[in-house]
């Protein structure tokens, strides 16, 4: 009798079984996640070029260099641009789609499938396709723009428009994922709340602001945090679509880490940037948790 008073208290045997069940994934996580993470902290205190035989300890030199590295701050700036451009708009759009998908209309299954399809496709492939579509000379999108008499531009070859194009593709790719999460949240709201509100004479807008949104707070928090973390770490579509260019106008922090670590082979400096990014993401996530909890109280 393990289940007493609805609470599960595992026996020693079960604990041991659980341990062995968890062991394989723990081994993988330790070998391929935790150990490399700690190792990169070690690297960040060294001058660690992959080409050099010796890797002298340099203390905080890599971090000092980072503070004065204009290109790092440019990358931080572009990452912020990407996040502010993609997260709020992406979440508003996916909330809209989730509300639509929650309506008991015909063909909703197909509707959901269409919006979820990009989520299942790899970012590399999506990025290649969009690069073709956006090509200013032979791209389909540019052609349509021209045929319709709309002003077009150089998209990925323009220092002004490359980032908006990358943001647009990221939103298009992620909107389905967020939609599904938010939809699950919407469906867990008890219909009795809406019935009661209707009886009290609340209109659709009031129902949305007073019932839907507050009930979705936990789901929204999850979606916001996941999206923010994801966009701080954006890499794939930058790598495939623009390689950080033109003129570093789409070079995000993770792309800059890649450039330093795997193109210039300076693993020490790349690790220092990675740890800087980790600290920033951690702080922002804590801040978000705090903000949302604060709202919970009132």
Partner 1 sequence: MASKPWIATSASLLAASLLLAACGGNGQNDQNSQSANSSQSQAPSGKSDDGKAVRLTFWNGFTGPDRPGYENLVKQFNDTHPNIQVTMDVSPWDTLLAKLPTSLATGQGPDIAAFDSSLITKYAKSQLILPLDDLYGNGIDPGIFPQPLANVMKYEGKFFGVPANNATLLLYYNKDLFKAAGLDPEKPPATWDEWIDAIEKTTKSDGSDKQYGIALADHATIAMWPILVWGNGGDFVSTDGKTATMTDPKTVEAIKRWSDLVVGKGASPTNLTGAEADKLFQSGKAAMEMNGPWATAGYTDAGLNYDVAPIPAGPAGEVTLASSAVLVAGKNTKHIDAVREFMQYWVSKDAQAQLSGETGFPPVRTDLGDDERLKQNPFVPKFAAESNNAKYYLPGLEQYDKIDADVIIPAIQAITNQKSSAEDALAQANKQLQDILDGND
Where do contacts with partner 1 occur on this chain (CB under 8 A)? 13-14, 16-17, 20-21, 23-24, 27-28, 31, 50-53, 71, 135-138, 146, 154, 157-159, 243, 245-248, 259, 262-265
Q: Shortest approach of partner 1 to residue 31 CB, angstroms?
A: 7
Our CB check for partner 1 shows the closer of 157 and 217 to be 157
Please report the sign of the dihedral spanned by the C-alpha atoms of residue 136, residue 137, residue 140, residue 145. positive
Our CB check for partner 1 shows the closer of 14 and 187 to be 14
Our CB check for partner 1 shows the closer of 1 and 110 to be 1
Q: Shortest approach of partner 1 to residue 66 CB, angstroms?
A: 14
Q: Shortest approach of partner 1 to residue 231 CB, angstroms?
A: 24
Q: Shortest approach of partner 1 to residue 68 CB, angstroms?
A: 12
Rounded CA-CA distance 36/38 in Å is 5
Q: Shortest approach of partner 1 to residue 215 CB, angstroms?
A: 39
Our CB check for partner 1 shows the closer of 111 and 145 to be 145
- The C-alpha torsion from 83 through 87 and 90 to 93, rounded to 10°, is -140
Integer Rg of the chain from CA: 24
């Amino acid at each position: 009798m393990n289940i007493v008073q609805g609470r599960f208290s595992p026996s020693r045997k079960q604990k041991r079984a659980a341990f062995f069940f968890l062991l394989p994934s723990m081994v993988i996580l330790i070998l391929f996640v935790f150990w490399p993470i700690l190792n990169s902290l070690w690297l960040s205190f060294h001058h660690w070029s992959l080409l050099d035989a010796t890797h002298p300890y340099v203390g905080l030199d890599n971090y000092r260099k980072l503070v004065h590295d204009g290109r790092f701050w440019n990358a931080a700036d572009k990452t912020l641009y990407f996040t502010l451009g993609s997260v709020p708009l992406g979440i508003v759009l996916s909330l809209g789609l989730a509300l639509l998908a929650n309506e008991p209309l015909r063909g909703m299954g197909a509707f959901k499938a269409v919006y979820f399809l990009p989520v299942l496709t790899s970012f590399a492939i999506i990025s290649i396709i969009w690069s073709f579509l956006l090509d200013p000379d032979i791209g389909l999108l540019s052609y349509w723009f021209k045929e319709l008499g709309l002003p077009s531009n150089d998209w990925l070859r323009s220092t002004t428009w490359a980032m908006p194009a990358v943001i647009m593709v990221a939103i298009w790719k992620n909107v389905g994922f967020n939609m599904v999460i938010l939809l699950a949240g919407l469906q867990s709201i008890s219909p009795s709340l809406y019935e009661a509100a209707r009886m009290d004479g609340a209109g659709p807008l009031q129902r949305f602001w007073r019932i839907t949104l507050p009930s979705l707070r936990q789901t929204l928090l999850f979606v916001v945090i996941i999206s923010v973390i994801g966009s701080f770490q954006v890499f794939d579509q930058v790598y495939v679509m623009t390689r950080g260019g033109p003129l570093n106008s789409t070079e995000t922090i993770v792309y800059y880490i890649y450039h330093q670590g795997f193109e210039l082979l300076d693993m020490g400096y790349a690790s220092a940037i990675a740890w800087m990014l980790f600290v920033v993401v951690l702080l922002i996530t804590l801040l978000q948790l705090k903000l949302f909890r604060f709202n919970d109280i009132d």
